[in-house]
Amino acid sequence: MMGGAWRRLKSDRYGMTGLFIVIVFSMVAVCVWSGLLGQGWSDVSGNRWESVSTTHWFGTNLLGQDILQRTLFGTATAFEVGLLVTFCSTLLGTVMGALAGWYSHGWLDEVILWLKGVLDSIPFYLFAAAVAFALQGIPWAMHLAMIITFWTTTARIIRGEVMRIKQREFIEAARAIGLPSIKIIFRHVLPNTFHVLLVQASIVFVAAINTEVILSFLGLGIQDGVSWGLMLAESSQEVLAGHFGNFVAAGTSLFVLLMGFNLLADALQDALDSRRATA
């Protein structure tokens, strides 16, 4: 199945473009984490609002900090937030959704659906901002706020998939030989939802980066370091003075990365579509 999915993905030029963009940004993030790029993001290496030059490719900001260095470091920040939030929220949503789907129409399912309903009824950005504000001073406040709000969609999708899969013959056979429910869920049911989780994880990654930018712009996000959201917040004052370096650098980087992930997510959804695979 995966071999066929890879062939279909390779034949999708938009999907491969998205994959190329994601790989390039990933390599930048890895280079920043390893100390090869972006380490001078906080250094005052020039005068304020210097224009583009061979010394400062994107110019400098109000403090004289190199905008390119800050943009590169912001890439690592985006991936750090995206990877952590995606992993934790997907894991939580998968477990909750699997339990709700396996014990559908039981008390556990009702409790999980009630909790989902409560969280989904609150405007998303308002809730995320409220949690981040309430936990200000805690380094992972923004991450926790997103994890709390992002797991519900994954849980809903996995619940439906588990309810469908548990009716299949191989699951009935596993039950017949007396395998425990937990073992059936994690060994036989969830591996068959991997294609759905892969697409959903890419969507969550995009949402996490978007939310970080918004919360950082509002002063509720990244506290130590720099991110594209903080750069956009800085640019709100700089644009009025006629300086667009921060805005262009952060805005363009955000747009290109999110476009790449969206292209890749759409291509993955088509490549992993079982109906297309059997066509």
Given a cut of 90, whether residue 135 has pLDDT beyond it is no
Given a cut of 60, whether residue 55 has pLDDT beyond it is yes
Answer whether residue 59 is part of any domain. no
The total domain count for the chain is 1
- pLDDT tens digit string along 194-210? 888 888 898 899 899 98
Mean pLDDT of 45-58: 77
What share of residues in the chain are helix, strand, coil (percent, to 5)? 75, 0, 25
Answer whether residue 53 is part of any domain. no
Given a cut of 60, whether residue 88 has pLDDT beyond it is yes
pLDDT recorded at residue 273: 66
Mean pLDDT of 81-92: 93
Domain, as residue range, for 183: 2-32+80-277
Mean pLDDT of 74-82: 92
> 């559908």: which residue's tokens?
104
Q: 10 Å Cβ neighbour count for 209?
A: 24
> 């903080």: which residue's tokens?
230
Instruction: Please give the model's pTM, rounded to 2 decimal places.
Output: 0.85
Answer whether residue 56 is part of any domain. no
> Of the candidates 258, 261, 252, 203, which has an alpha carbon nearest to the alpha carbon of residue 231?
252
Secondary structure class of 66 (helix, strand, coil): strand
Answer whether residue 260 is part of any domain. yes
Answer whether residue 17 is part of any domain. yes
Helices 13-33 and 245-271 cross at an angle (nearest 10°) of: 130
What percentage of the chain carries pLDDT values higher than 70?
A: 94
Measure the CA–CA gap between 166 and 8, rounded to whole angstroms. Answer: 28
CATH code at position 225: 1.10.3720.10
- pLDDT tens digit string along 101-131? 999 888 999 999 999 888 888 887 787 777 7
Answer whether residue 9 is part of any domain. yes
How is residue 113 written in tokens? 């659906």
Answer whether residue 61 is part of any domain. no
Answer whether residue 179 is part of any domain. yes
